[in-house]
Amino acid sequence: MATKTVYHRYRPHQSPLWFLSNRRYFAFMLRELAGLFIAVYAILIAVGLFAGRFHPVLPGPNGSIDVYASMAWLLKTRGFFVFTLISLAFACYHSLTWFDLFPQVTPIQIRGWKVPNRWVFGGMVALWIGLSLALYVVLYGGKLL
C-alpha cells in the first residue's frame, strides 16, 4: 500500500514584538524609532516656518492669530519642551550609534594601515562637538563662556 506524503507549505512566522526578545534587537528598534522623532521635529519646524511665511495672520476665535508668535509660544510650552527633550535624547542616541557604525560601513585605510574603529569613533565625536560649538557661536550667536 502506497502512502501519500502530504507537504505543508512552510510559512515563516514572526511576532510583531520580535525585537523584545533580545537586548540588541531592542537597541536596534530604538535607533529606528529615533528616526521618527527627528523627522517629526523637522516637519513641525518646517510647517511653522511655511505657515508663518504665507499666512502670517490667521483668523482665530478671539481676533487674529500671529502664526510666528504662536509658534514661538508653542516651542516654549511644557509639552513641546518635553517632546524636544525626548527628541534630543533620541537624536543624540542616533548620532552616537551612527558614529559607532561609520567605521564599520566605510573602513578608513592610510597606506594599507586600517585606522582602528575606536579612533574613528573618537574623531567623529570630536568633530560633532567642535562643529556644534562653532555653529553655536557663528550661526546662533551664542557665547562659549
Partner 1 sequence: MWTFFSLGGFIAALLLPLHMVVASLAPSPVPEAYGIPFLKTSFSFRHFLYENPYAFVLPLPFFPVEVVGLVLKLYLVALLGGTAFHGLHRFKYTLFDFGLRKQKRALNVVLYGIAFAVSGMTFLALFP
Binding site for partner 1 (CB under 8 A): 14, 16, 18-19, 29, 31-43, 45-50, 52-54, 68-69, 71-72, 75, 80-81, 84-85, 87-88, 91-92, 94-95, 98-99, 127-128, 131-132, 134-144
- As measured in angstroms, the least distance from the Cβ of 120 to partner 1 is 14
Vertex 84 angle, CA 79 and 88, to 5°: 150
Quickly count: other Cβ atoms within 10 Å of residue 29's Cβ.
14
- As measured in angstroms, the least distance from the Cβ of 138 to partner 1 is 5
Quick one: 115 or 129, whose CB is closer to partner 1?
Answer: 129
Quick one: 7 or 140, whose CB is closer to partner 1?
Answer: 140
Quick one: 110 or 138, whose CB is closer to partner 1?
Answer: 138
Burial, 34: exposed, middle or buried (Cβ in 10 Å; 0-12, 13-18, 19+)?
A: buried
- As measured in angstroms, the least distance from the Cβ of 61 to partner 1 is 22
- Helix 23-54 and helix 78-105, axial crossing angle in degrees, nearest 10: 120
Residue with cell string 511665511: 53
Angstrom distance (rounded) from CA 110 to CA 133? 29
